[in-house]
Amino acid sequence: MHVLVVTAVPVERDAVTRAYGDEPAVHRIRGAEIHRTGPLDVLAGGAGPAAAAASTAFALAAHPYGLVVSAGIGGGFAPVAPVGSLAVSRRIGAADLGAETPDGFVPVTGLGFGRTWHTPPPALVRAAAEATGATPGDILTVSTATGTAETTAALLAAHPHAVAEAMEGFGVAEAAELAGVPVLEIRAVSNTVGPRDRDAWRIGDALTALTEAFGKLIPVLEGWTRHDRDDTAD
């Protein structure tokens, strides 16, 4: 079965397909453009959790997939995920989905509905981390990229196992969950989470790291057997 990889923007999509070497075959399903190369169908689904969820759900309705991967560049939390390194999701969390109260942020689950975490198959996370050298940990999905030291500290206080943040993983995971398909997130770190300094972002280096990561990840994804999928142990 093919693996659906969802990125935010076309340059991230192209960094993923470049890993396979062959020129991808392009399939258009209404507004969505799927780039197929080897076992991967790669879709630039848009930035943010809503666009990611909508495009992932659309692709999953059009074709059966064995796995969905949210991939791209991301912000890394210091010191565990420096610029140029990789992060892979033990969990995928919606860090800013909830309500602000006089006593602080309350996640949707604290309001009595929704969910804030998705958990990828632990055996797949281990295999991906071993193959690529990615740091395993929580990857946070935010609708607003963090840009201050205060927000960074608050996120780390609430999520001490966070390694990276990005803007799509939770949306991709919500759609995958609805379709009954397992999910994984992998991020190549382009910048450190903290006070915004766009000039310090190393997008080119991160895209190169993303290509190299998928070069190592493709055999893992191809070889991810039913036996592996049944392994739910940590």
Closest distance to ligand LNDFFVEH from the beta carbon of 207 (Å)? 7
CB of residue 164 to ligand LNDFFVEH, shortest distance in Å:
8
* Amino acid identity at 8: A
In this chain, which of 138, 168, 174, 185 binds ligand LNDFFVEH, going by CB under 6 A? 168
Residue from 3, 42, 162, 166 touching ligand LNDFFVEH (CB under 6 A): that is 166
Question: Is 96 a residue that touches ligand LNDFFVEH (CB under 6 A)?
Answer: no
Strands (E), 38-179: 40-44, 67-76, 86-94, 98-101, 104-107, 117-118, 135-141, 162-166
Which residues on adjacent β-strands are paired with residue 6?
A: 43, 70
Q: Which of 132, 135, 152, 190 binds ligand LNDFFVEH (CB under 6 A)?
A: 190
The four Cα atoms 150, 152, 154, 156 give a dihedral, to 10 degrees, of: -150
Q: How far apart are CA 42 and CA 88, in angstroms?
A: 18
Tokens of 176: 């995958």
Q: What is the DSSP letter of 23?
A: P
Identify the residue among 69, 83, 142, 210 touching ligand LNDFFVEH (CB under 6 A). 142
List residues near ligand LNDFFVEH by CB under 6 A: 8-9, 11-12, 47, 72-75, 142, 145-146, 165-168, 190-191, 193, 203
